[in-house]
Structure 1
Amino acid sequence: MVALTVLARHLQRHLVRQVRQVRLPVPQRSVPVRTCNLSACSSRVVLSQMHPMWQEPLEVPGGERQSPIDISMRKSIFDPNLKPLVTQYDPRTCQQIWNNGYSFLVEYDDTTDKSTLRGGPLEDQFRLCQFHFHWGENNSWGSEHTVDRQLYPAELHLVHWNADKYALFEEAVVEENGLAVIGVFLKVGKTHEGLQKLVDALPAVRHKDSVVEFTKFDPSCLLPESINEYWTYAGSLTTPPLTEAVTWIIMKQPIEVSHDQLAVFRSLLFTSAEEEAQKSMVNNFRVQQPLKGRTVRSSFTPFLQNVPPADP
């Protein structure tokens, strides 16, 4: 029995090391599709150029709350008890940008309560650990979540962990109610002035495993104007170990970024400088997962014109 316990702890530590690199998948070579369902999202990618992480389906035995999902406006449930979100981010806690081979992570000092999230569906206070993006090879797809099957070119994830219940991120990531992730859709439009400082720094982390100091960045500038219109549901990480520890908070309102800014994202590489075959960092998203009876709650009442017609 002791040996089994030791083995379990060893495996947990191994999974946690993967998770610290947090989030990002990756498909490549796609069929242009504007809307998405489970079969379309799964079939639009030709497997020959996928990142090794996603060359075969990732499943969690017994997994009942996997992410990402399609959010149906019509089927989401308005919950008047959802509170306003309260973000309090200290730009001085921003530390560095890291190309981890799946995405680039902007990492924050999470040893104190200087950059936090509370309110909304959350009962506890969560600390900001990092944020990153998922994006496609063109502007027709890239987001992990969709709304009424509508895809966006990219999606931002701000990753927070429950500092009221757990002592470390590594503990929270494998425990119930351990993480809270804010998701923000990106659409093509005008240049995002707040994002530009980050975009200007990205060439320094073009290759896998490259790190550059990056300080005094306030992630609040990447949130939409109305942060109190959102959907929330119980889900998982979208990269291994796919732990079902996440409360997702998906913003209704997207932010605008320019085509040129997204082009800089796509100029990054999955590969290190030493590798002969260089692979563009694009299509770094997981295919969508079945809802399996979960409820998606909304903090707002959808307008009638946004509700899709009922199924025939």
Structure 2
Amino acid sequence: KRGTRWGLSIYLSIYLSLSEPLDIPGGDRQSPIDIVVRKSVFDPQLRPLKVQYDPRTCQQIWNNGYSFLVEYDDTTDKSTLKGGPLEDQFRLCQFHFHWGENNAWGSEHSIDRRLYPAELHLVHWNSDKYSLFEEAVIEENGLAVIAVFLKIGKRHEGLQKLVDALPAVRHKDSVVEFTKFDPACLLPEKIDDYWTYAGSLTTPPLTEAVTWIVMKQHIEVSHDQVGGRYLCENFVFLKHVHDSTTVNTNYQ
């Protein structure tokens, strides 16, 4: 498990040392983007999302030096995502957060130029078409990522178990066992109200392999839960939204 994430972490360390965003020659679906609500296109073909997560597949937390990954056993179809804009079944492999230093702005995507304090990414790979995450990550339809915005408000009880475990992974490349955590508790109530578009990984190798599913409804967390005690600024530059980028929505 760690081998795959470690490779991506090396790309990430190079990326974060740059003062300007990278541009992929010829790439026309780079993420993150600013979602302009009035330009989103209603798609009546979009179906409800089918999320099925088994808390028993949760394995560990890994600090890669820039964020922490909560990693899941993705060798079976016990924690999966399908439906919505997806034609295939995708397995959950990990989730992580992007945040800022001051709880003011740190999300990767923005909505009408509005940023949120943090953004959750639940990363899934296409297990119908590929046998490994490493294969899926370089293919056009290989990954599906659910993005959830976090807003400062009341304490999130589901998140607290994770927050309590973070001191054990304070240092880079530290790993701690973390089990029986249901990531569904981090999803908003209305998971069938979302935007979706074809995009990319937001860190190198920046492969245009991602179907993004961006939740319209945010979740609330307390100031202390998303504070900077264990977290460092790790958000990335917004990419230019290419004219060819179409953002669809399942609600008019």
Q: Which range, TM-score by smaller chain?
A: over 0.9
Q: Distance in 2 between matches of 1:16 and 1:158?
A: 14
What aligned pairs does 1:90-169 form with structure 2 within 5 A after superposition?
90-169=54-133
Of the candidates 220, 224, 248, which is equivalent to residue 256 of structure 1? 220
Which ranges in structure 2 are unaligned for 5 or more consecutive residues? Answer: none
Structure 1 runs not aligned, ≥5 long = 1-13, 27-49, 269-280, 302-312
Partners of 1:18 and 1:241 within 8 A in 2: no
> Aligned partners of 1:189, 1:17: CA distance in 2, in Å?
34
The reply on whether 1:18 has 2:7 as its aligned counterpart is yes
In the alignment, the residues of structure 2 paired with residue 212 and residue 16 of structure 1 have an alpha-carbon distance, to the nearest angstrom, of 15
Q: Which has the larger radius of gyration?
A: 1
Matched AA of 1:18 = G
Residue 232 of structure 2 is aligned to residue 282 of structure 1 = yes
Aligned partner of 2:185 in structure 1 is 221
2:172 is the alignment partner of 1:172:
no
Give the superposed CA RMSD: 2.0
Taking structure 2 as the reference length, the TM-score comes to 0.94
- Check conservation: 1:206, 1:267, Cα contact below 8 A: no
Q: Which residue identity does 2:154 align to in structure 1? A: K
**Greater relative CO (CA pairs within 8 A, separation 6+):** 2
Q: 1:187 to 1:24 in 2, by over 3 A?
A: farther
Q: Give the whole-Å Cα distance in 2 for the aligned partners of 1:140 and 1:16.
A: 28
Count of residues in Structure 1 that have an aligned counterpart in Structure 2? 249
Question: What letter matches 1:248 in structure 2?
Answer: W
Shift in Å at residue 56 of structure 1? Answer: 4.0
Per-residue CA shift, 1:216-238, capped at 9, x if unaligned? 00000000000000000000001
Q: Is the 8 A contact 1:205 1:211 kept in 2?
A: yes
Secondary structure of 2:224's counterpart equals helix
Matched, 1:295 2:223: no
Q: Look up the equivalent residue of 2:250 and give its one-letter code.
A: S
Is 1:185 aligned to residue 135 of structure 2? no
TM-score normalised per structure 1: 0.76
Report which of the two has the higher share of helix. 1
Mapping for residues 10-49 of structure 1, pairs under 5 Å: 18-19=7-8, 21=9
Work out the percentage of aligned pairs sharing the same amino acid.
74
Distance in 2, matches of 1:165 and 1:173, equals 12
